[in-house]
């Protein structure tokens, strides 16, 4: 099967959930015999030197990129107030990308064109005009829901009003395009139900993000520091919001209770305000070369999220490494792990302190919890298993009488 995968940012390095989700799925489909080609924007925000890709990033038959300056500019943001367009989406509208897409569709015959996230929806009409391929949307989350939650957590009233306005337009765009896809691939059953409740009527399935589990080998306990860690893209508002909440509301009390405990923070595009934070026993590493190596060095992983949507890949990675993961109810959303069996759920400072203290004091066996977490990910989130189910669905859709009639 020939698949063209469209991305709004280049899916490498594997330092954020979207890149991991895109790369592991495409790699698994390649191993299952599919011919995968990539057309990606190479943005100013997440620029990648394509010439420096490692030799093992070789699962694509072809890689095509177009440059895009998607910087947020105050003047553009202001004038968007007088436009009906979604500012979130319009930053990814590119004539160069459109022309490259037309060229690929004209020169090749694809079975499936897979859009990675809503931000590729502006190109649906172009695809249908130049190809008979099945157009599928892999929705990594419900996009407007992320911004509804961010808006709800924003206290500064002018910013809150502006975010509410932008979110309203993003929601309208997402709902207006909901039934333009031939098939929807949601990353969780929860998101799939949400899309259907919002009015989605075409074919759909839930296909969770999978990990290449051979890349996740836990370190022996004697080589692991009994400290806490946090890792996440720190140019993403929900991560910054959750980290600041933890530092302000949990860490002072926890650090006072355990004077030798350290809190290690890493993240791509760490802002200067976080790099310069002077907090007792908090170590800010900035961007690290190897996220797995970083997480593997510590016994517990903290994921304090209060906005966002979809699935948190970092939680799966922490569990795959046998770590004790402490997260919020929203952080666990989309992952069918059980509290106190596979991870720990806390929504208040008191609950975070209680669960972390139980680990440090030995009241709860961290090793047992870590083993159960790793087994859970192995059973439910292997990238090969999930890719095989998705490929079988694509094959059945291509062979269906309805699709054959449309040719």
Same-domain check for residues 148 and 232: no
Residues 246 and 120 grouped into a single domain: no
Helix axes 17-31, 313-320, angle to 10 degrees: 70
Note whether 67 and 37 are same-domain residues: yes
pTM value is 0.90
The pLDDT score that the predictor gives to residue 76 is 76
Residue 242 shares a structural domain with residue 340: yes
pLDDT of residue 407: 62
Q: Does 177 share its domain with 261?
A: no
| Count of structural domains within the chain | 2
Measured from the Cβ of residue 188, the count of other Cβ atoms closer than 10 Å reads: 22
Shared-domain flag, residues 160 and 241:
no
Co-location of 81 and 225 in the same domain: no
Q: Point out which residues pair with 326 in neighbouring strands.
A: 302, 344
What integer pLDDT is reported at residue 73 of this predicted model? 78
The reply to whether 25 and 167 lie within a common domain is yes
**Distances from the Cα of 296 to the Cα of 226, 246, 291, 293, 380, angstroms:** 11, 21, 8, 5, 21
- 243 shares a domain with 193: no
Are 273 and 293 within 8 A, CB to CB?
no
- The pLDDT profile of the chain, 407 residues, written as one tens digit per residue, is 999 999 999 999 998 889 999 999 999 999 999 999 999 999 998 899 999 999 999 999 999 999 999 887 777 777 787 788 998 999 999 999 999 999 999 999 999 999 999 999 999 999 999 999 999 999 999 999 999 989 998 988 989 999 999 999 999 999 999 999 999 999 999 999 999 999 999 999 999 999 999 999 998 777 788 899 999 999 889 999 999 999 999 999 999 999 999 999 999 889 999 999 989 999 999 999 999 999 999 999 999 999 877 789 999 999 999 999 999 999 999 899 999 999 999 999 999 999 999 999 999 899 999 999 999 999 999 999 999 999 999 999 988 877 666 66
Range of the domain at 89: 2-210+382-406
182 and 258 fall within a common domain: no
184 plus 221 within the same structural domain = no
The token pair that represents 85 in the structure block: 């367009």
Are 106 and 178 within one domain? yes
Q: What is the DSSP string of 308-339?
A: --S--HHHHHHHHTTPEEEE-HHHHTT--PPB
Report the CATH number at residue 95: 3.40.50.2000
Q: Would you give the distance in Å from CA 106 to the centre of its chain?
A: 31
């Amino acid at each position: 099967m020939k698949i063209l995968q469209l991305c709004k940012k280049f899916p490498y390095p594997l330092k954020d959930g979207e890149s991991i989700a895109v790369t592991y799925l495409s790699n698994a489909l390649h191993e299952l015999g599919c011919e995968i080609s990539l057309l990606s924007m190479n943005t100013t925000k997440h620029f990648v030197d394509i010439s420096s890709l490692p030799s093992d990033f070789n699962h694509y038959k072809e890689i095509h990129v177009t440059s895009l300056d998607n910087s947020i500019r105050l003047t553009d943001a202001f004038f968007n107030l007088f436009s009906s367009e979604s500012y979130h989406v319009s930053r990814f509208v590119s004539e160069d990308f459109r022309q490259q897409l037309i060229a690929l569709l004209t020169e090749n015959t694809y079975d499936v064109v897979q859009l990675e996230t809503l931000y590729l929806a502006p190109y649906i009409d172009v695809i249908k005009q130049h190809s008979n391929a099945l157009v599928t949307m892999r929705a990594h989350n419900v996009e407007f829901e992320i911004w509804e939650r961010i808006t709800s957590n924003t206290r500064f009233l002018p910013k809150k009003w502006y975010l509410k306005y932008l979110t309203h337009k993003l929601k309208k765009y997402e709902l207006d395009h909901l039934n333009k896809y031939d098939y929807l691939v949601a990353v969780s059953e929860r998101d799939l139900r949400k899309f259907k409740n919002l009015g989605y009527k075409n074919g759909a399935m839930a296909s969770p993000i999978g990990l290449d589990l051979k890349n996740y080998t836990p370190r022996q306990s004697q080589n692991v520091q009994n400290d806490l860690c946090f890792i996440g893209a720190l140019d993403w508002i929900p991560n910054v919001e959750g980290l600041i909440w933890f530092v302000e509301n949990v860490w002072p009390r926890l650090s006072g209770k355990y004077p030798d405990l350290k809190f290690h923070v890493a993240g791509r595009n760490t802002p200067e305000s976080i790099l310069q934070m002077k907090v007792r026993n908090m170590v800010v590493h900035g961007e690290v070369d190897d996220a797995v190596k970083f997480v593997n060095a510590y016994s517990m992983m903290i994921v304090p999220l209060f906005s966002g949507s979809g699935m948190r890949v970092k939680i799966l990675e922490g569990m795959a490494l046998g770590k004790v993961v402490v997260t919020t109810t929203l952080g666990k959303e989309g992952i069918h792990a059980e509290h106190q069996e596979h991870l720990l759920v806390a929504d208040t400072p008191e609950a975070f302190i209680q669960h972390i203290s139980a680990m440090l004091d030995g009241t709860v066996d961290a090793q047992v919890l870590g083993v159960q977490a790793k087994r859970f990910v192995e059973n439910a989130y292997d990238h090969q298993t999930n890719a095989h189910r998705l490929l079988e669905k694509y094959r059945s859709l291509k062979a269906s009488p309805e699709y054959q009639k449309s040719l």
